[in-house]
């Protein structure tokens, strides 16, 4: 019997195809040997210095830039830094240690980065202040006064003074000139033998950083004096005036109280924190007056006193309208 052929026939199924292992990856070829670098040249002497400043001269590299040669093969120490000493550049000429707002670098008159702060403006202490001063308010009085400054720059002031003879002469001359009556001027002059002046006022300093002041107040004047019978009789119509001049043997006493309003504008200066000087200009006017006349003869007093008192009061209210100039100096507590 013939042998069976090992060749499969067309009708014989093929054996199953098993998966094959993947091919190994293609690895890069091994690196070539490193390139042969040329030998490092011998150190050469630095070139002659140029005429340019030391800080402007280029750093010598002798044609071999560092980036082309690995540091490990060409040590940096071969480039002599010591040939270019840093001490040749004086850093003290360009101070930079003061960076930051408000830092000071020694340059005067500037502020900011590396600049000193500007001088701060002086700050006035917080009130209240008390000023005691001596001064004058011409032509009314020589004064002692006290001024208190409260918060919001509100001012309170009080003073007490005396009218000197020179001021008395000015007031008398003013009344005589304004009235055109020398007899009335003599009567007023006699009433000013002793004059005490009281001043109280309130004010305001509107500008915080300035010394400008505005004042409004009351002035009281207390007058005591005497006149001769002849001067008294000259202010009264005859025959009463002649009777007064002839019938009285001694001077006649006069007393008056004047109520005045005053306004003023001023400026105060504070020197060395404690010395206070005030200068002002103002206006004073008599709004009311009361007078009394003491005549030794009761009959003549009853008849003449009302006439003389009215003459005095009318003269004060009509003619005592005075410009006033003030100047005081004192100590601030």
Beta bridge partners of 224: 194, 255
Query: For position 110, what pLDDT does the model report?
Result: 45
Average pLDDT over residues 11-32: 66
- Give the chain's mean pLDDT: 80
Name the pLDDT band for 232 (thresholds 50, 70, 90).
very high
Inter-residue contact 106 to 116 (CB < 8 Å): yes
Which tens digit of pLDDT belongs to each residue from 174-210? Answer: 999 998 889 999 999 999 999 999 999 999 999 999 9
* CATH code of the domain occupying 129-332: 2.40.160.20
Give me the percent of the chain exceeding a pLDDT of 90.
52
Query: For position 158, what pLDDT does the model report?
Result: 97
Query: For position 216, what pLDDT does the model report?
Result: 98
Lookup: tokens for 81: 């830094």
Give me the percent of the chain exceeding a pLDDT of 70.
63
Name the pLDDT band for 273 (thresholds 50, 70, 90).
confident
Higher pLDDT, 192 or 54: 192
Q: Is the pLDDT of residue 245 over 70?
A: yes
pTM here?
0.62
From the DSSP assignment, how many helices (H) and strands (E) are in the chain? 5, 8
Q: Which of 284, 257, 288 is nearest to 191 (CA)?
A: 257
Geometric angle at alpha carbon 287, from 284 and 291, rounded to 5°: 110
3-state secondary structure 245-312: HHHCCCCEEEEEEEEEEEEEEEEEEEECCCEEEEEEEEEEEEEEEEEEEECCCHHHHHHHHHHHHHHH
Inter-residue contact 218 to 200 (CB < 8 Å): yes
Ramachandran angles phi, psi of 235, nearest 5°: -90, -5
Which residue is it, tokens 């830094």? 81
The secondary structure of the chain in percent helix, strand, coil, rounded to multiples of 5, reads 25, 35, 40
C-alpha to C-alpha distance for 188 and 170, rounded to whole angstroms: 12
Which tens digit of pLDDT belongs to each residue from 126-166? Answer: 889 999 999 999 999 999 999 999 999 999 999 999 999 99
Which tens digit of pLDDT belongs to each residue from 274-332? Answer: 999 999 999 999 999 999 999 988 888 999 999 999 999 999 999 999 999 999 999 99
Beta bridge partners of 328: 135, 278
Other residues' Cβ atoms within 10 Å of the Cβ of residue 281: 13
Query: For position 126, what pLDDT does the model report?
Result: 80
For residue 32, the Cα-to-chain-centroid distance in whole angstroms is: 84
Which tens digit of pLDDT belongs to each residue from 2-14? Answer: 444 455 555 556 6
Higher pLDDT, 115 or 159: 159
Q: Is the pLDDT of residue 118 over 80?
A: no
Average pLDDT over residues 3-28: 61
38-47: list long-range contacts, CB under 8 Å, 24+ apart: 40/64, 40/73, 40/74, 40/78, 43/78, 43/80, 46/80, 46/83
Query: For position 90, what pLDDT does the model report?
Result: 53
Inter-residue contact 297 to 249 (CB < 8 Å): no
């Amino acid at each position: 019997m013939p042998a069976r052929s090992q060749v499969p026939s067309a009708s014989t199924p093929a054996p199953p195809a098993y998966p094959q292992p993947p091919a190994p990856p293609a690895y890069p070829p091994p690196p070539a040997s490193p390139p042969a670098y040329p030998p490092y040249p011998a150190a050469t002497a630095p070139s002659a210095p140029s005429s340019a400043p030391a800080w402007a001269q280029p750093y010598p590299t002798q044609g071999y830039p560092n980036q082309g040669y690995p540091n490990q093969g060409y040590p940096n120490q071969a480039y002599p830094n010591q040939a270019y000493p840093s001490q040749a550049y004086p850093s003290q000429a360009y101070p930079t240690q003061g960076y930051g707002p408000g830092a000071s670098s020694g340059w005067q008159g500037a502020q900011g980065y590396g600049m000193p702060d500007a001088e701060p403006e002086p700050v006035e202490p917080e009130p209240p202040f008390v000023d005691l001063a001596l001064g004058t308010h011409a032509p009314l009085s020589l004064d002692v006064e006290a001024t208190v400054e409260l918060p919001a720059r509100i001012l309170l002031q009080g003073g007490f003074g005396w009218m000197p003879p020179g001021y008395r002469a000015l007031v008398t001359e003013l009344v005589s000139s304004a009235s055109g009556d020398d007899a009335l001027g003599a009567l007023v002059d006699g009433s000013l033998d002793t004059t005490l002046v009281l001043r109280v006022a309130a004010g305001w300093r509107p500008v915080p950083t300035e010394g400008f002041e505005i004042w409004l107040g009351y002035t009281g004047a207390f007058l005591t004096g005497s006149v001769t019978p002849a001067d008294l009789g000259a202010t009264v119509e005859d025959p009463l005036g002649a009777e007064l001049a002839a019938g009285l043997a001694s001077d006649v006493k006069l007393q008056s109280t004047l109520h005045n309003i005053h306004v003023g504008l001023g400026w105060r200066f504070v020197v060395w924190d404690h010395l206070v000087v005030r200068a002002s200009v103002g206006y004073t006017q008599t709004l009311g007056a009361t007078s009394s006349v003491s005549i030794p003869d009761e009959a003549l007093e009853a008849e003449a006193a009302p006439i003389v008192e009215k003459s005095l009061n009318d003269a004060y209210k009509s003619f005592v309208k005075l410009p006033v100039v003030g100047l005081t100096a004192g100590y601030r507590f």
